[in-house]
C-alpha cells in the first residue's frame, strides 16, 4: 500500500510569491490534515479536510488555505509568502475524520522563502 | 501558550538501558495522547497512544504512562536500541479531533 505522497519535496520561493503544495493520501483514506514544522514552533496544525470540507482550522492567517478534491487528494496554498513561512509542511491522512490521531504522515514539502 | 511541553530537547542513553521521555500538558480537555517518532528526512510515524480513561498502555518495548492529576505522560523504551535514535514527539487531542497539539520534540540518542 503506497504511503502519503507529497509534492514537491523541496522548493525555493521569494517573498511575495505564492506556493501550492500537493498531497495524495493513502488509498481509501478520506481525511487529510496539514501541519507546519519549524524549529522554533515545532509541529503546528494548519487544517483538516474530510469529504472535500474543511473540518478544523488552526491559528494561521488567511494567507494559508487549502482544499480537497473528490478523490481525497488535497492541496494547500500560501499566498504573499513571508520569510517566516519557511518550514517543512507535512500532510497526514487517516481513514475517517475523528479517528483520534493515528495519522499517517508524508515526508513533507520543505519550503524556503528568500 | 504552549499546551504540550517536552522540556528535554535531547536525551542520551546506552543501548540496553531504559529511555524515559517526558511530556506535560496544560489543557485538561485533552482526552487522547500519542507519541510519534521522526527520523531525519521522513515524516513522523505513530508509535503508541493512550486514552485518558487509562493510565498505562504497553506495546512491546514501548510503554506510555499517563498521570492525569499531574497532567504528565511519559514514554518508556526498554531495552533501548540504536535504531530507536530519533526525535520523539508527544501529541494531544481533544474530542476525537484530527487536530493534534504537538510538543517540540525530544531527540533521543541511543549509544551502542
Nearest CA in chain B to A99: B96
Q: What is the pLDDT of residue A97?
A: 65
Q: What is the pLDDT of residue A101?
A: 58
Residues ≥6 apart with Cβ < 8 Å to B60: none
Nearest CA in chain A to B46: A102
Q: Does residue B96 carry a pLDDT above 90?
A: no
How close A85 comes to chain B (CA, Å)? Answer: 18
- Flag if A100 and B93 touch (Cβ within 8 Å): yes
Are A109 and A88 in contact by the 8 Å Cβ rule? The answer is yes
Q: Does residue A2 carry a pLDDT above 80?
A: no
Q: Pick from B41, B46, B93: which is nearest to A107 by CB?
A: B41
Question: Poorest-confidence range of A1-15, A80-94, B18-32, B94-108?
Answer: B94-108
From residue A105, alpha-carbon distances to A12, A39, A70, B22, B54 in Å are 22, 18, 20, 23, 26
A99 class by beta-carbon count within 10 Å (0-12 exposed, 13-18 middle, 19+ buried)? middle
The predicted-structure confidence for A36-78, as pLDDT tens digits, reads as follows 999 888 899 999 999 999 988 999 999 999 999 999 999 999 9
What is the dihedral angle through the alpha carbons of B29, A50, A91, B92, rounded to the nearest 10 degrees?
A: 10
Q: Pick from B43, B96, B103: which is nearest to A42 by CB?
A: B103
Chain mean pLDDT for chain A: 92
Residue position matching grid coordinates 517543512: A88
Amino acid at each position: 500500500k503506497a504511503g502519503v505522497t507529497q509534492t514537491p519535496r523541496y522548493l525555493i520561493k521569494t517573498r511575495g510569491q505564492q506556493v501550492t503544495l500537493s498531497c495524495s493520501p493513502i488509498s481509501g483514506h478520506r481525511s487529510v490534515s496539514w501541519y507546519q514544522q519549524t524549529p522554533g514552533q515545532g509541529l503546528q496544525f494548519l487544517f483538516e479536510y474530510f469529504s472535500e470540507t474543511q473540518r478544523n482550522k488552526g491559528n494561521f492567517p488567511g494567507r494559508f488555505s487549502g482544499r480537497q478534491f473528490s478523490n481525497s487528494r488535497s492541496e494547500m496554498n500560501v499566498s504573499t509568502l513571508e520569510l517566516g513561512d519557511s518550514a517543512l509542511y507535512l500532510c497526514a491522512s487517516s481513514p475517517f475524520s475523528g479517528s483520534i490521531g493515528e495519522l499517517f504522515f508524508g515526508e513533507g514539502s520543505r519550503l524556503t522563502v528568500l | 501558550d504552549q499546551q504540550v511541553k517536552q522540556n528535554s530537547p535531547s536525551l542520551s542513553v546506552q543501548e540496553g538501558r531504559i529511555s524515559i521521555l517526558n511530556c506535560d500538558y496544560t489543557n485538561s480537555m485533552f482526552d487522547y495522547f500519542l507519541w510519534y517518532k521522526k527520523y531525519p528526512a521522513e515524516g513522523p510515524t505513530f508509535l503508541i497512544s493512550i486514552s485518558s480513561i487509562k493510565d498505562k498502555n504497553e506495546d512491546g518495548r514501548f510503554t506510555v504512562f499517563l498521570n492525569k492529576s499531574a497532567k504528565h505522560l511519559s514514554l518508556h523504551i526498554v531495552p533501548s536500541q540504536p535504531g530507536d535514535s530519533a526525535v520523539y514527539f508527544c501529541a494531544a487531542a481533544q474530542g476525537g479531533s484530527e487536530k493534534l497539539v504537538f510538543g517540540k520534540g525530544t531527540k533521543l540518542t541511543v549509544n551502542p
